Amino acid sequence: DQQVKQNSPSLSVQEGRISILNCDYTNSMFDYFLWYKKYPAEGPTFLISISSIKDKNEDGRFTVFLNKSAKHLSLHIVPSQPGDSAVYFCAASDYSNSGYALNFGKGTSLLVTP
């Protein structure tokens, strides 16, 4: 059973515009959420995280929003750049287990066009 879902396999955005990537989760024990970015033939690279006690975290062009009641988080990239083209994975950890294992979504492939 997949506990982290990224329902959009792909997204195309023009350079300079906002990219919004969405993620839903089902496990109410998740208390820490992360976004990873992956280029082909490379491993995932950490991008940004948020704890469940917050509803927003910002780092430069990247902002993550968390809506606990809806069990939904989103990643906003503003402005989008061609170098942002990659696969983005949403991940979460469950404090009721060891809390170290990350549960990943299937990823959303973002294409930023010039």
Candidates 11-19, 52-60, 62-70, 88-96 — which segment interacts with another protein by CB under 8 A? 88-96
Q: Give the chain's largest Cα–Cα span.
A: 44
Question: Considering the complex, what minimum distance in angstroms separates the CB of residue 41 from another protein?
Answer: 7
CA pair distance 53, 44, nearest whole angstrom: 25
Q: In terms of CB distance, is 82 or 95 closer to another protein? A: 95
Q: In terms of CB distance, is 42 or 69 closer to another protein? A: 42
Q: In this structure, are residues 20 and 75 in contact, taking their beta carbons and an 8 Å threshold?
A: yes
CA atoms within 13 A on the CB side of 44: 19
Residues that bind another protein (CB under 8 A): 2, 4, 32, 36, 41-46, 49, 51, 89, 93, 95, 97-107
